[in-house]
Amino acid sequence: MVSLLGSPVINLLRVLFLGLSTLAPAARAQLELHVPPGLTRLQVVEGAEVVLPAWYSFRGEVSSGKPREMLTVMWFLEQEGKDLNQVLAYISGVLSTQPGVSLVHTMPSRNVSLRLQGLQEKDSGYYRCSVNVQDSQGINKGHSSKTLELNVLVPPAPPSCHLLGVPRVGTNVTLNCMSPRSKPAAQYQWERSPPSSQVFFAPVLDAIRGSLSLKNLSTSMSGVYICKAHNEVGSAQCNMTLEVSTGPGAAVVAGAVVGTLIGLGVLAGMVLLYERRSKALEEQANDIK
């Protein structure tokens, strides 16, 4: 970009353009709105404040003294799928703003930088500054606008850790981790805490989904596992204790229960049989009497 500006072709174009504009009638100084070179996008953490810098000048202005000028400044917020939102207006010396919005420099000033405080995720978007200047006779001296993109980032909220599966020797389980809020989306990392520290990587770790897959469990894999959710502006963590049991497997437990039930059934049957038999014997005895 910078090298392009210095290229001979661009310089030639510039000379041509300047040449033409000086031929233009009235040869008025041209209003130019500036933002810092190379700055088009600002990234700020939620809750913080930001200054969107912008100032204007007149190209080819002769007198450097303070000319009397009537200034109109407007800052708009453009968001995809939403109506244009005017966040600040300075018209005829009157300033009106939305909460948390102000100008950095007291008016009138050629520096029309915007300050935004208590930023929220919903303040993200394209901020367009529009400046219009008239001279003291009310003759238009020029208009210009510039846009800066603001991206409000959110550090990951504390994630929650979950275990999928039954941790028993020889089985597989998955440890899941999910942060409810993060912008951009959090990436996840699983670690095992000391004394048996261990860091996990793909393929057992899915850094996007936050899952850690542990196969063929052994008792030595028991311990505290920590998940870290992180993005550009922060991190948060949760942990969980994995206890790999050596106890009988689910199938074995189920089998034992079924076995017991059958046993009870048989027992009940025997009791019934015995009662019947003893009743029959009693009746027989009564008959004999």
Strands 94-97 and 101-103: unpaired
Q: Does 106 bind ligand NAG (CB under 6 A)?
A: no
The binder of ligand NAG chosen from 16, 51, 91, 271 (CB under 6 A): 51
Interface with ligand NAG includes 90 (CB under 6 A)?
A: no
Site string for ligand NAG, 225-264 (x = CB under 6 A): -x------------x-------------------------
Residue with tokens 């070179």: 37
Q: Site for ligand NAG (CB under 6 A): which residue of 31, 33, 50, 55?
A: 55
Under rule CB under 6 A, residue 12 binds ligand NAG: no
Does 104 engage in binding with ligand NAG (CB under 6 A)?
yes
For ligand NAG, which is the closer residue by CB, 105 or 122? Answer: 105
Of 123 and 191, which CB lies nearer to ligand NAG in the complex structure? 191
Question: Where does this chain bind ligand NAG (CB under 6 A)?
Answer: 51, 53, 55, 104, 111, 113, 171-172, 193, 215-216, 218, 224, 226, 239
